[in-house]
A and B are shown apart, each in its own frame.
Chain A
Amino acid sequence: MEMTDNLKILARKSAGTGLLLIIVAAVTLEATSLIQYFSSQRMLKEEASLRAESELRSTRNQIMDVVDQAEAAVHNSIWITRWCLDYPDSLAVVARRIVEENPSVMGSTIALVPDYNKKLPLFAPYVCRTADGSVELKSLATEEYDYPSQEWFTEPLKYGYGYWSEPYIDEGGGEVLMTTYSVPVTDDAGHVAAVLTADVSLDWLTELIGSLRVYPDAFSVLISREGKIMVSPVEELNMQRSIKEYGMGTKDTSNFNSLADGMLSGKSGNVSLKQSRRERMFVFYAPVEKTGWSMAIAIPDSEIYGEIRRMSLLVTILMLIGLGMLILILRSAARNQQKVVSLKEKKDRMENELLIGHNIQMSMIPKDFPERKDIDMAASIVPAKEVGGDLYDFYIRDGKLFFCIGDVSGKGVPASLVMAVTRSLFRSVSAHEQSPQRIVTLMNESITDMNENEMFVTFFCGVLDMASGHLSYCNAGHNPPLVYIDKLQFLPAQPNLPLGIMPGMTFVEQETDLSSNDALYLYTDGLTEAENLAHEQFGETRMMDVLRTHRNAQDDLEAMQKAVADFVGDADPSDDLTMLFIHYLNDMQPDETERHLILHNDIQQIPQLAEFIETIADEINLDQGLAMSLNLALEEAVTNVILYAYPKGSDGRVDVEAIISKDKLKFIISDSGKEFDPTAAPEADVTLGVEDRPIGGLGIYLVRKIMDSVSYERTDGKNVLSMIKKL
């Protein structure tokens, strides 16, 4: 009781230490990830601002190119305008030239200051491009337009230098976004005489600004000097609302106002705006000189920090999993200590677990043997304790039987675990290998790699080609199997080293050929070393005596089991006992091939038989003498058909079929002639002397002599003669 309490305290103490450990680990992990998070965030923000600024700069440069072009077009025409002031009619020519020579200029006017020319108090010829590309001359000196009151006219006169008007939608010229650059023109006397203008289309701006994509979800805005939104992704706002008006409706009015103020005052900078409860965005802005415009790029925070946010979420999840596992481990450690409390309970559970272990282990071993014509198998595995270290396994792949038997050093639970690993390894390694030597070598590498408990496995692995009977095998320190090839004997097997002893070990592969009814007997030393009460071993002699009578696999196995049981008697089993017996039957007559020859009932076709036989003889390597005999038998049989089954002059055919198998050749000669049984002819007497010897009757005699069996059948109106020659 006291001990139990102590253990509980110990468990609690250890749980307390565990908790502290968890807290320290959690704090350390959290701090590390926070530091990493913030430093990454700062770097990403810097990168975003660099990218936005470079984008702003390059866009501004593109805008300035057009602006400079328009300004140059106007400035270059000032002197000629001055020169033409006295000839108002020629001013239209100057305006026309500005339009024609500058593709970005949509229209130009030279508007005289009212009353500068006494004869023409208001004079403003206006040249503009029409929709079809031609150039048209109009007059702006109309009463309703009243050009002297227009911004483009008043502003440059007020400041005395070039002025970019607020952008506007040109109602007359196809609803395009326009701005006008206007400069005052003084005469030679220095009096302000006229305003020279160029209308510049801003349609390209929409495209230029719209195409800015620093980040997939970023967007750009261009505002005029007065704060009017010129270009933005929201079309309803463009040229309709000012940035200040727009700012009123946003969530983060104060920050938006500082953005608007910054942009309107022609500065550059950046502002972080709250978009919604969770989302913020970063806005970078910069002025477009001369025009007084300001441009801004807005990038949602999620765009800038998305990657690192996803990463930090992942890190947090992993951290939580790690902590969870730590808690579980500590709890189970604490519980394990509490477990010592009940030894009885433990023993019961152990036995139960051993039973489960036994069942699991047995379920890993194949117990269903394939019912096949080419192999006949039987196997058994009897552990000395609940669980054991013996194993066997087999399976069929690509017409090959892969099989193995093995014995793990030691007994009981540790051996059973290694047995399970070995069996899994055999399956996984042999799945991609055909050679037992490769399988054994790879398994040895894996087992030596993880072998900290110095356990080893004696192992024998074979691959039997079921069609040919070819057996390749590799032994790793296992008892050499017995084979029945002509007689019962040990299969010559290099001992090699067991698996798990030495990495990089080279194993020797060996091979032999099994014929029909040969057998292979694999076993573990539990068989030969089975002991009776007098501590005598069953031994190889007794084992071989049992197998000397050659039966089928199951009967052999049962005979062996009975012999061992009789010998051991009441003694406890000392070791696991495993046997795997394989009988090679090869009753499949595999590789049967057929050859066909069709002849007409014409003696002249007989030589074709010689070629037919020659082909077959080449194919299966028949010796010349046998080939000649077969040719002779066929010729005699076919000649009989041609001469006797078909009446002279009738047309018929003779089918010759050859069925070639490993151990015999079968010829079937059939025809549709009248019933004729060559085998019914009396046996020729070859002992008669010259005088008594009849001339004929030798044909069928030769057929019978050459072939091992000849039989005639009349079926479906056909004569069918079957002849078999054993090889």
Chain B
Amino acid sequence: MEVIINKEDSVTTVRLIGRLDTPASQDVAQSFEPLMSDAGGTTVLDCSEMSYISSSGLRIFLSMRKAAASQGGKVIVKSISDDIRQVFMMTGFLNLFEIQ
């Protein structure tokens, strides 16, 4: 799993490339730590290249969402595949995120 973070003004774009499974989540969580402590702006989670997500990945998404909420920022989930949309639907995440 590769995470590419790009910050332009107040918009931080995070490209998630590959499978966000349990072992990958441990690394990805570390990459997200600085983002969570500075979540006042807009964070775009670009999922166009993410092929899989497990509950540990969802936890990161939710943690990010909670951090943004507490800091007055917002999280946009962009370009999720139909299969992952299915998972978001099952878990009620579709209601928690702004999906683009």
Instruction: Decide if A and B are genuine partners.
Output: yes
Interface residues, chain A, CB within 8 Å of chain B?
603-604, 606-607, 610, 624-625, 628-629, 631-632, 635-636, 639, 686-691, 693, 695-696, 698-699, 701-702, 705-706
CA distance A222 to B43 in the complex (A): 126
A701 x B52 contact (CB < 8 A): no
Top-9 shortest CB links A-B: A686-B92, A698-B55, A699-B55, A625-B83, A705-B90, A628-B83, A606-B22, A603-B23, A639-B22
A698 x B66 contact (CB < 8 A): no
- Convert B71-89 into 0s and 1s, putting 1 for each residue whose CB lies closer than 8 angstroms to a CB of A: 0000000000011001100
B92 x A687 contact (CB < 8 A): yes
Q: Determine which residue in A610, A631, A686 has the highest number of CB atoms from chain B within 10 A of its CB, and name it.
A: A686
With a CB–CB cut-off of 8 A, which chain B residues contact A690? 62, 65-66, 69, 96
CA distance A606 to B57 in the complex (A): 14
B90 x A702 contact (CB < 8 A): yes
CA distance A702 to B57 in the complex (A): 13
B21 within 8 A of A: yes
B59 x A696 contact (CB < 8 A): yes
A635 x B54 contact (CB < 8 A): yes
Q: What are some 25 contacts across the A-B interface (CB < 8 A)?
A: A607-B21, A607-B23, A610-B19, A610-B21, A610-B52, A625-B83, A628-B83, A629-B87, A635-B21, A636-B55, A639-B22, A639-B55, A639-B56, A687-B92, A687-B95, A690-B62, A690-B66, A690-B69, A690-B96, A693-B66, A695-B62, A698-B59, A698-B91, A699-B55, A705-B90
Interface residues, chain B, CB within 8 Å of chain A?
19, 21-23, 26, 52, 54-56, 58-59, 62-63, 65-66, 69, 82-83, 86-87, 90-92, 95-96
CA distance A470 to B41 in the complex (A): 63
CA distance A636 to B23 in the complex (A): 12
CA distance A693 to B59 in the complex (A): 10
Q: How far is the CB of A654 from chain B (nearest CB, A)?
A: 13
Q: How far is the CB of B23 from chain A (nearest CB, A)?
A: 5
B22 x A635 contact (CB < 8 A): yes
B23 x A606 contact (CB < 8 A): yes
A629 x B86 contact (CB < 8 A): yes
- Describe A's contact surface by its main secondary structure: helix
B55 x A702 contact (CB < 8 A): yes
CA distance A167 to B90 in the complex (A): 122
**Of B54, B63, B69, B95, the contact of A639 (CB 8 Å cutoff):** B54
Given A629-B86, A636-B55, A705-B90, are A691 and B21 also a contact pair (CB < 8 Å)? no
- Describe B's contact surface by its main secondary structure: helix
**Of B58, B69, B83, B87, the contact of A624 (CB 8 Å cutoff):** B83
A695 x B59 contact (CB < 8 A): yes
B86 x A702 contact (CB < 8 A): no
Q: How far is the CB of A569 from chain B (nearest CB, A)?
A: 64
Q: How far is the CB of B64 from chain A (nearest CB, A)?
A: 11
Residue of A nearest to B94 (CB): A686
Q: How far is the CB of B25 from chain A (nearest CB, A)?
A: 9
Q: How far is the CB of A597 from chain B (nearest CB, A)?
A: 15
Q: How far is the CB of A208 from chain B (nearest CB, A)?
A: 97
Residue of A nearest to B65 (CB): A690
Q: How far is the CB of A19 from chain B (nearest CB, A)?
A: 99
B52 x A693 contact (CB < 8 A): no
With a CB–CB cut-off of 8 A, which chain A residues contact B96? 689-690, 693
With a CB–CB cut-off of 8 A, which chain A residues contact B65? 690
CA distance A603 to B21 in the complex (A): 10
**Of B83, B91, B95, the contact of A702 (CB 8 Å cutoff):** B91
B59 x A691 contact (CB < 8 A): no
With a CB–CB cut-off of 8 A, which chain A residues contact B55? 636, 639, 696, 698-699, 701-702
With a CB–CB cut-off of 8 A, which chain A residues contact B52? 610, 628, 631-632
CA distance A604 to B83 in the complex (A): 24
**Of A604, A687, A691, A706, the contact of B66 (CB 8 Å cutoff):** A691
With a CB–CB cut-off of 8 A, which chain A residues contact B63? 695
Residue of A nearest to B21 (CB): A606
**Of A624, A629, A693, A699, the contact of B62 (CB 8 Å cutoff):** A693
CA distance A690 to B68 in the complex (A): 10
A701 x B22 contact (CB < 8 A): no
CA distance A687 to B89 in the complex (A): 11
With a CB–CB cut-off of 8 A, which chain B residues contact A631? 52
Residue of A nearest to B66 (CB): A690
CA distance A688 to B69 in the complex (A): 15
Residue of B nearest to A605 (CB): B23
Q: How far is the CB of A49 from chain B (nearest CB, A)?
A: 101
Given A690-B69, A690-B96, A698-B59, are A604 and B23 also a contact pair (CB < 8 Å)? yes
Given A603-B22, A686-B91, are A636 and B54 also a contact pair (CB < 8 Å)? yes
With a CB–CB cut-off of 8 A, which chain B residues contact A606? 21-23
With a CB–CB cut-off of 8 A, which chain A residues contact B54? 632, 635-636, 639
With a CB–CB cut-off of 8 A, which chain A residues contact B91? 686, 698, 701-702
Residue of B nearest to A697 (CB): B55
CA distance A55 to B54 in the complex (A): 102
CA distance A696 to B96 in the complex (A): 15
CA distance A702 to B52 in the complex (A): 14
**Of B56, B69, B87, the contact of A691 (CB 8 Å cutoff):** B69
CA distance A565 to B87 in the complex (A): 62
**Of B62, B82, B90, B95, the contact of A625 (CB 8 Å cutoff):** B82
Residue of A nearest to B51 (CB): A628
CA distance A702 to B88 in the complex (A): 10
CA distance A629 to B96 in the complex (A): 21
Residue of B nearest to A702 (CB): B55
